[in-house]
Chains A and B, each alone.
Chain A
Amino acid sequence: MKILHCPLNGPRNISEFVYGGQVKPMPNPESATDTEWAAYVFYENNSIGVVQEWWLHAPSSYWFIVERHNGSDTILRTYDPSELLSNPGMVSLEDAIQ
């Protein structure tokens, strides 16, 4: 059993979690061109290394961030998305949520 440390619920079996895609800044849907929007929807940085991902703890519907090495499957860090949303690089995502 692989364990994932949920920032809200503590260590749980990874089968309780759902992978939700890589963290990437969302362009403004009002002003983005089709190409920009397509790039956001379809393209991920699919290289080997440490990736920053959205994960959901399904039983508690809690979304959080996981930093994981996608070559060794080592989970490096998990944290609440508020940490990410306060990052200036993610402003557009915050705007979209508001």
Chain B
Amino acid sequence: MPFGLLKYGLGKDYPFEREPDLPATPTLKQHYDVVIIGGGGHGVATAYYLAKYHGITNVAILEKAYLGGGNTARNTAVIRSNYLTPQGVRFYSESVKLFERLSNEFDFNIMYSQRGQLTLAHTDATVRAFRQRAEVNTHFGGRTELIDPHHIAELVPTLNLNPANMPVLAGLWHKDGATARHDAVAWGYAKGATQRGVELHQLTEVIDIIKEGDRAVGVKTNRGTVHCRSIVQAVAGYSAVLAGIAGFKLPLVSYPLQAMVTQPVKPFLDPLVSSSALHCYVQQTSRGELVFGGGSDPYPLYNTRSTLELKESLIAHAVEMFPFMSEMQLLRQWAGITDMTSDYSPIMGLSPLRHYYLDAGWGTWGFKATPICGQTMAELVANDGKVPDLIAPFALDRFDHFKQVNEMGATAASH
């Protein structure tokens, strides 16, 4: 091996293909079949499945900054399906199944690692809620069970079982829980989509939505006007702002969500661990860094600034769970803007404008839904607005009819 390496080191030929994974941004055409606003995971996944399953390749993804630079890069990369509502569990289970085979499908390593996710219960009420979640999950084919503190100590020997004087009573052990490199998910989808003819336009900001009556027919961007048959908006935290430009309101409130990462250390933490009472989730990345995050900021804001208060409380909670973390140094700290619905479920499907489709309300639970979101949104667009059964419960008009999907299994929801 060393001699082979030396040969390549001294030679001019690189042993692998030198083609870039993504083509340069092309010139913007005047007409596309589908325009997708937002080049994050959800947007590029929608384009990928449109091209792959529905043969629709005349698609432009318009991204105001760069590929996967928004919440796709800011989440804590947790993949799980141990939600509470049957609608939610069905939906996220499909996502977990798709994630499992993404690396093979893309021929691009997304560093998917199914290590299991453990949520800690500190009160009897939470134990009861967890029991329900375990039953609902098992019913829909997920692998989730309730485990006792002894079993928890075996799984995570470094965990403090009495954090902040709130003894751990039980744990919701979700074997399907996993993590993956979030950037690579967006890159893999973008690579697969652009190879099939989809155009990715970075640094292309949508300024206005062109309408004819109650129908969306195109968009105005900083690089020119584009007409299209259908539009998909997948812009996470700025969903309500874009909807405002399109001329309607969404039942969303945008909050910053702050997270942080430490310096890398040797591998010691296999499962992804979160505490329901401390509102803190901790996982060790494949690079050895500890990524941890907590609840949203206490009031709405469109600003990714960091606050000392949240840093203090989040670090305090993380140190309660893993006391030796107090010896570690922070590497980075950041925030993302999350568009929260009042029932902690997304808003997917039709909008008040015809041919204008919504992928919004992803709050703090968007990354884990990336594949299934792309697949169902692609189906919705390809079938000209016929809503797939899987996302029918997440329609925007559920709020008008008081038919919310109360997803208390969401991280942001209190348990």
Contact = CB atoms under 8 A, between A and B. Distances in A.
Q: Is the pairing of A and B real?
A: yes
Interface of A: 1-2, 14-15, 18-19, 34-35, 38-39, 42-48, 51, 53, 70-73
A19 B240 contact: no
Contacts of A34: 400-402
Contacts of B339: 46
A46 B301 contact: no
Contact of B244 (A2, A47, A72): A47
Contacts, number: 59
18 contacts: A1-B308, A15-B309, A34-B402, A42-B399, A43-B249, A43-B250, A43-B251, A44-B251, A44-B252, A45-B249, A46-B250, A46-B253, A46-B339, A53-B299, A71-B301, A71-B302, A73-B301, A73-B303
Nearest to B339: A46
B250 A38 contact: no
Given A47-B240, A72-B303, A19 B342 contact: no
B305 interface: yes
Interface string B383-415: 000000000000000011110000000000000
Contacts of A18: 298
Contacts of A51: 300
5 smallest CB-CB distances across A and B, nearest first, come from: A46-B240, A19-B299, A42-B251, A42-B399, A48-B302
A19 B301 CA distance: 12
A48 B303 CA distance: 10
A11 B223 CA distance: 47
Given A35-B400, A48-B302, A42 B342 contact: yes
Interface string B231-269: 000000000110010000111111000000000000000
Contacts of B250: 43, 46
B173 to A, nearest CB: 35
Which residue, of A15, A42, A53, has the highest number of chain B Cβ atoms within 10 A? A42
Given A43-B249, A46-B240, A47-B244, A70 B302 contact: yes
Contact of B400 (A38, A46, A71): A38
A94 B286 CA distance: 57
A85 to B, nearest CB: 22
B158 interface: no
A43 B251 CA distance: 4
B254 A46 contact: yes
Interface of B: 240-241, 244, 249-254, 298-303, 305, 307-309, 339, 342, 399-402
Contact of B253 (A38, A44, A73): A44
Contacts of A42: 251, 342, 399
A51 B342 CA distance: 19
Given A45-B249, A70-B300, A71-B302, A1 B400 contact: no
Contact of A2 (B241, B303, B307, B401): B307
B252 A70 contact: no
B92 to A, nearest CB: 23
A57 B18 CA distance: 61
B343 to A, nearest CB: 9
A86 to B, nearest CB: 26
A70 B399 CA distance: 24
Nearest to B313: A15
A45 to B, nearest CB: 7
A48 B241 contact: yes
A53 B299 CA distance: 10
A11 B244 CA distance: 35
Of B240, B299, B400, most buried by chain A (CB within 10 Å of CB) is B299
A70 B301 contact: yes
A97 to B, nearest CB: 23
Given A15-B309, A42-B342, A47 B241 contact: yes
B341 to A, nearest CB: 8
